[in-house]
Each structure stands twice: as C-alpha cells, then as structure tokens.
C-alpha cells in the first residue's frame, strides 16, 4: 500500500469586504489605503476562530490592483496583511498585484491563487469554500471547484455565475460551512 496524503479543507476568503470593511464609493467597494484605515468586519474574529477550531485552513485570496495602478504601494498592502495575520487566525495570504489587463493567472476571476494554495498546502478544493463579496470571487471559487458563498452588500455590479449560498454578512458563513462538514459526517481532524 502506498502512502496516502490526507488533503485538508480550506475556507478561502476575499480580503476587502470579508475580512475588513471596504470603503464604498459610487456603489462599488474599495480597499483601505493604509493600515490606519483597516477596520475588521463585525464578528469576523470570532467567525474565523470558530472555523479554525473546527479544523478548517483559512486562506485569504485578494486582488490588489491598486499596486499596479500606482495608487497603493506593495509595502502598504503587505503591512495590512501583516496586521491581519497578527490579529486573526489566518494560515496564509495570497495577493495578486496585477491589473485586469495584464493577463496573469492569479487575478480573480481566474482561480490561480486558489490552485497555488491548494498545491502548496495540500488542500482539497472540492471540500473547500470560497467566500467573497464580488462576482470575481464567486467565479474564481466556481472555476477552482469550491463551494461558493456570496456576501451580498448590494453593490451596483451583477454576478456572472451563480454562488452556492448567498448571505448578507460575513459572520453568517460559519453555520453554512459547519453544516456542510456535518452533512458529510466528517470528524474535526
């Protein structure tokens, strides 16, 4: 018998709007410009601790095109990520610093960040979730073969593909994710 690697489940989380509050202008969300503007979404710390204690890997996957556009520095974005990792039980942060016209594989709606994380961390995408508040998050999760949870804040953009679940606040993801685990009869390991 060969050695079988057990693949782990993950919750992939968009950053802006899920982990931290977005700054909404003209019906569209924008990231905080600096660490001083970072404000976590209500209840996200308890939500992530509950998921972590239940055995889920927590991975942030975030598009940060303002770096390519010259309106943010990579250092300021990484400072925000450092604060998040210091304060929340997150296992990894994957960021795409490209703009939409650059044709990279990592920028959502492409699934590159999820596929890279799955390969590097031995994650089972079919047993994982992607949680986000933009159509790009849902499309990336669907393309990667994850269950998708869309947090609907009523932005002025339309979804391009259908999410598995729709909620109105990030902390509501916990019941969906933990129920999925129970339905499959899985243990906490």
Gap between the Cα atoms of 131 and 41, Å rounded: 14
pLDDT at 5: 64
SS3 149: strand
pLDDT at 88: 98
What CATH code would you report for 10-183? 3.40.50.1000
Specify whether 152 is catalytic.
Answer: no
Flag residues of the chain having pLDDT under 70: 1-6, 181-189
Q: What b/e string do you get for 65-86 counting C-beta neighbours within 10 Å, with b at 16 or more?
A: bbbbeeebeeebbbebbeebee
Specify whether 133 is catalytic.
Answer: no
pLDDT at 3: 56
pLDDT at 182: 58
Token pair belonging to 168: 């109105």
Domain ranges of the chain: 10-183
pLDDT at 180: 78
pLDDT at 146: 98
* Candidate list 16, 133, 137, 139, residue with the active-site label: 16
Q: Is the pTM of this model over 0.75?
A: yes
């Amino acid at each position: 018998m060969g050695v079988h690697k057990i693949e782990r489940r993950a919750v992939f989380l968009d950053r802006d709007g899920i982990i931290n509050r977005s700054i909404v202008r003209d019906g569209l969300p924008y990231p905080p410009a600096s660490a001083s503007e970072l404000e976590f979404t209500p209840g996200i710390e308890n939500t992530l601790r509950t998921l972590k204690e239940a055995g889920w890997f927590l991975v942030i996957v975030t598009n940060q095109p303002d770096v390519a556009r010259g309106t943010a520095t990579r250092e300021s974005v990484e400072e925000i990520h450092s604060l998040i990792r210091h304060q929340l039980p997150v296992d990894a942060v994957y960021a795409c610093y490209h703009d939409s016209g650059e044709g990279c594989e990592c920028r959502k709606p492409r699934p590159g960040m999820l596929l890279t994380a799955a390969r590097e961390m031995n994650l089972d995408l079919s047993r994982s979730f992607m949680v986000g508040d933009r159509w790009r998050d849902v499309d990336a999760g669907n393309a990667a073969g994850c269950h998708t949870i869309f947090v609907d804040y009523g932005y002025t953009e339309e979804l391009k593909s259908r999410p598995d679940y729709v909620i109105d606040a990030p902390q509501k993801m916990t019941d969906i994710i933990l129920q999925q685990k129970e339905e499959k009869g899985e243990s906490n390991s």
